[in-house]
Amino acid sequence: MRSENTVNTKSASEILLLKITGVDKPGVTSSITAMLAGYAVDILDIGQAVIHDSLSLGILIGVPAGAESSPLLRDVLFKAHELGVQVSFDPVDESAYSQWVEEQGKSRHIITLLARKISAEHIAELSRVAADHGLNIDNISRLSGRVALETDPAAKTRACVEFSVRGMPADAEALRTAFLGLAKEMDIDIAIQKDDIYRRNRRLVVFDMDSTLIEAEVIDELAKEAGVGDQVAAITESAMRGEIDFTESFARRMALLKGLDESVLERVAARLPLTEGVEELVANLKALGFKTAILSGGFNYFGRFLQQKMGFDYVHANELEIVDGKVTGNVVGTVVDGQRKAQLLREIAASEGVSLEQTIAVGDGANDLPMLSIAGLGIAFRAKPLVRQSAKQAISTLGLDGILYLIGFRDRDTLQERLPSE
C-alpha cells in the first residue's frame, strides 16, 4: 500500500528511487529493506506489485545528511545479485519531491472496468479517456480471479480491473458521458466513484425486485395467467421507459388482473428465474454484516418468497387485495412508487443508524431513479437507456454479483468461488 510522508528532505543528502524487478520470491522486500536499515535511510514512498510471479518493487529513500550513497548503492547491488533480482537507481530532485508531496491532497477517484473478458483495447480506451480529462493513474489492480487459457464458451465469466486515479476532471459530467459512450460501444461497464471513506463503508443495500433480483416482471407473469399478457406487458414497458407515470400504469395493469385466482400466486413464484449472481451477492453481503432490503413496485407475496429464500432483512412492496380467493384489482395501503421507494430508503437507513452516503440502491426502471439518486451508490442494473444515463453507475454486462467489485471486493475475498476461480 502506498504511503505519502511529509519528511523534511533537508535532513537527507540525496533522494533516490530504487527499482527492483525479477522473479517473485519470499524475502526480497525484507532483505532489501534490512540492507537499507543499516544505513538509517528514511522510506519516503514504497510500492510493490506482482504480475504472474514477476516482482516490481519501488522504494523512494532519503539518504541521511552527511552520509554517502556510494557504499549503500554498492551493498544494495550485491544483495540484489545474491537474491537473483535486478535493481536500478534514479536520483530525485528535491523540488520534484516537494511538488509530489504537495499533490497528496488532490482528489482521488476509483475507476472500475467490468466485462466478461478484458482486452488491451478496453484498457487503452479507458485510460485514454481518463488522461483526456486530466486524471493520472496511480495504481491498477485486478479484482477478478485468474483466468484460465481455455474456458467453456458458455460459461458466464467475469473480469474486473480497478484503477486508482488522481486529479479532478474539469467537467465531471463530460467525463461520465464519455465513459457511458465507451461502455456502450465496447460492451463493457465503467464506474467512477470518489475514493472517500463512504465508498469503503457501505452498510445498507436496497434492491428493486422485478427485472433486478428476478429476471421477470411479476405483474406480467400474473397477466399471462389471466390471459391479458400482451396488454399488461405493453403498459409495463411504457412505464419502465418513463413514458407514463408509474402510479397510473400500475392502476391500469391491476385492473386487468381482476378475478385472477389466488392459487396462481404460488405457481408463478415457483417459476420466477433469479438474476445471475443474486444469491452469491446477497450471501456475501449478509456474511459481511450488510443490511439488505427489497423495495418494490411489485407485490409483497413475491418479496416475502425471496426473503425466505435468501434472507433479506426488509421487504416493502404492494399488498394485493384478495377477496374470496380472487384478486380484486386493488392493493391494500399506499402504492410503492418511485417517491415511496426513496422515502423507505431514508427510513430504513435512519433506523439502522447509517447515513445515505453509506447506502447502495439497485434498480432498472424509471421508478427506481428517486432512490438511486439519493443513495451513496446508485446502480442502474441492466436498465433502460433513460435510467442508465440518469443513474450514478450502471452494470449491464455482468450479473448482480458484479456489485461486489464496485465496493472493492476481490473474488478471493468472497464466500463462494466464482468463475474463473482465483
pLDDT(329) > 70: yes
Could you tell me the pTM of the whole model?
Answer: 0.85
Average of pLDDT values for 18-33? 94
Show the CA angle centred on residue 262, arms to residues 261 and 267, nearest 5°: 100
Note whether 226 and 274 are same-domain residues: yes
Whole-number percent of the chain with pLDDT over 90: 70
pLDDT(152) > 70: no
Mean pLDDT of the chain, nearest integer:
90
Q: In what order do the strands lie in the sheet with 86-91?
A: 42-51, 54-64, 12-23, 86-91
Q: Which of 24, 45, 189, 210 is catalytic?
A: 210
Note whether 312 and 218 are same-domain residues: yes
Among 102, 122, 157, the domain boundary falls at 102
Average of pLDDT values for 97-113? 85
Q: Has 208 been annotated as catalytic?
A: yes
Q: What pLDDT is attached to residue 12?
A: 62
Q: What pLDDT is attached to residue 87?
A: 96
In angstroms, the CA 216 to CA 62 distance is: 61
pLDDT(145) > 60: yes
Note whether 373 and 262 are same-domain residues: yes
pLDDT(11) > 80: no
Q: Which of 208, 220, 337, 411 is catalytic?
A: 208
Q: What pLDDT is attached to residue 7?
A: 46
In angstroms, the CA 280 to CA 82 distance is: 46
pLDDT(420) > 60: no
Domain hosting 178: range is 106-196
pLDDT(418) > 70: no
pLDDT(2) > 60: no
pLDDT(6) > 50: no
Q: Does residue 420 lie within any of the structural domains?
A: no
Read off the C-alpha cell for 393: 453507475
CATH number at residue 164: 3.30.70.260
Note whether 135 and 22 are same-domain residues: no
pLDDT(8) > 60: no
Note whether 278 and 370 are same-domain residues: yes
Average of pLDDT values for 172-200? 93
pLDDT 10s digits, 392-407: 899 999 999 999 999 9
Among 196, 214, 238, the domain boundary falls at 196
Read off the C-alpha cell for 290: 450488510
Whole-number percent of the chain with pLDDT over 70: 94
Among 102, 130, 152, the domain boundary falls at 102
Average of pLDDT values for 166-178? 91
Q: How many domains does the chain have?
A: 3
Q: What pLDDT is attached to residue 3?
A: 44
Note whether 79 and 67 are same-domain residues: yes
In angstroms, the CA 411 to CA 420 distance is: 9
3-state secondary structure the chain: CCCCCCCCHHHEEEEEEEEEEEECCCCHHHHHHHHHHCCCCEEEEEEEEEECCEEEEEEEEEEECCCCHHHHHHHHHHHHHHHCCEEEEEECCHHHHHHHHHHHHCCEEEEEEEECCCCHHHHHHHHHHHHHCCCEEEEEEECCCCCCCCCCCCCCCCEEEEEEEECCCCCHHHHHHHHHHHHHHHCCEEEEEECCCCCCCCCEEEECCECCCECCCHHHHHHHHHCCHHHHHHHHHHHHCCCCCHHHHHHHHHHHCCCCECCHHHHHHHHCCECCCHHHHHHHHHHCCCEEEEEEEEEHHHHHHHHHHHCCCEEEEEEEEEECCEEEEEEECCCCCHHHHHHHHHHHHHHHCCCHHHEEEEECCHHHHHHHHHCCEEEEECCCHHHHHHCCEEECCCCHHHHHHHCCCCHHHCCCCCCCCC
Note whether 27 and 158 are same-domain residues: no
CATH number at residue 305: 3.40.50.1000
Q: What pLDDT is attached to residue 106?
A: 72
Candidates 254, 246, 261, 179; CA nearest to 208 is 246
Note whether 336 and 303 are same-domain residues: yes
In angstroms, the CA 84 to CA 86 distance is: 7
Note whether 249 and 368 are same-domain residues: yes
In angstroms, the CA 85 to CA 69 distance is: 20
Note whether 135 and 192 are same-domain residues: yes
Q: β-pairing, 159-166 with 136-142?
A: antiparallel
Per-residue pLDDT band for 157 (boundaries 50, 70, 90) equals: confident
List the single range of 27-36, 61-70, 205-214, 258-267 with lowest mean pLDDT.
61-70
Per-residue pLDDT band for 409 (boundaries 50, 70, 90) equals: very high
